[in-house]
Amino acid sequence: MRRYSTRIAAVAMLGCGLHAALPASAQDKNLGAAIAAKGGSGGAAACVSCHGAKGEGMAAAGFPRLAGLHPDYLLAQLDNFASGLRQNPVMAPIARQLTAAERQAVAGYFGGLPPPTPVASGDPNVLKASDRGAWLADRGHWDDNLPACVQCHGPGGAGTGSAFPPLAGQSSAYLASQLHAFKSGARPGGPMSLMSVVAKRMTDADIAAVADHFGAAPADKGKK
């Protein structure tokens, strides 16, 4: 829970509005944990059955990691699934079966869990132009007006603040599916449509390369 108290301290220090989605009370936290383990009052399935007992995700099935993502980001995604802005046949009905208070509680719960154990990756200092994925991630491709992913998603793709989720620690299959969803419009691009703009400039080969790159990156590189 160290990450959590650090976050609360930082929020208090900065006096910014991030506290909205943090669990307001122990009761909220219990509610979030109960939904994760057993499902919601309106019939929503238990989150852990797909997202893993610790919110670590299930790479093989393409179910994303939720542990340690910012609670505001998680809540925004649940709201988007519920409203139909973010389309997905599996997740949308589940989000719709949760009340607004349940979505907030469960977002706070998963946001407070520690990120999964890092997976091994190559040496980040060795960057070759021929490694398109690593190059896009760290340098971008200015000829195509494509900024480096780490400019928004933080060093190593570890995620920054409430708007830019981690890419590290997600499976390459999930990352690729989301990039295609941003490109097609099945998923909205977040603040100022930033991510749609980026994804539309990527070729299918770019998507595959960069998804493989981050799909192999450690989850705890850099700090939120």
Query: What angle (nearest 5°) sits at the alpha carbon of residue 101, between those of residues 95 and 107?
Result: 60
Stretch that binds ligand HEC, among 5-13, 21-29, 118-126, 185-193 (CB under 6 A): 185-193
Task: Tell whether residue 22 is a contact of ligand HEC (CB under 6 A).
Answer: no
Question: Tokens at residue 47, please?
Answer: 């989150």
CB within 8 A of 33, min separation 6: which ones?
A: 109
Number of residues that bind ligand HEC (CB under 6 A): 44
Residue 75's nearest CA partner among 22, 119, 121 is 22
Question: Tokens at residue 8, please?
Answer: 């609360």
Q: Which of residues 41-100 bind ligand HEC (CB under 6 A)?
A: 44-45, 47, 49-51, 63-64, 66, 69, 74, 76-78, 88, 90-91, 94, 98
Distance CA 144, CA 202 (A): 8
Task: Tell whether residue 158 is a contact of ligand HEC (CB under 6 A).
Answer: no
Q: How many residues does the chain have?
A: 224
Residue closer to ligand HEC, measured from CB, 11 or 194: 194
CB within 8 A of 193, min separation 6: which ones?
A: none
Instruction: Mark residues 95-134: x for contact with ligand HEC by CB under 6 A, - for none.
Output: ---x-------x----------------------------
Distance CA 72, CA 17 (A): 10
Task: Tell whether residue 190 is a contact of ligand HEC (CB under 6 A).
Answer: yes
The DSSP bridge partners found for residue 146 are 141
Stretch that binds ligand HEC, among 1-9, 11-19, 114-122, 150-158 (CB under 6 A): 150-158
Q: Which of 19, 79, 173, 177 binds ligand HEC (CB under 6 A)?
A: 177
Distance CA 77, CA 160 (A): 16
The DSSP bridge partners found for residue 160 are 164
Residue closer to ligand HEC, measured from CB, 7 or 175: 175
Binding residues vs ligand HEC (CB under 6 A) = 35, 40, 44-45, 47, 49-51, 63-64, 66, 69, 74, 76-78, 88, 90-91, 94, 98, 106, 136, 147, 149, 151-153, 163-165, 167, 170, 175, 177-179, 189-191, 194-195, 198, 210
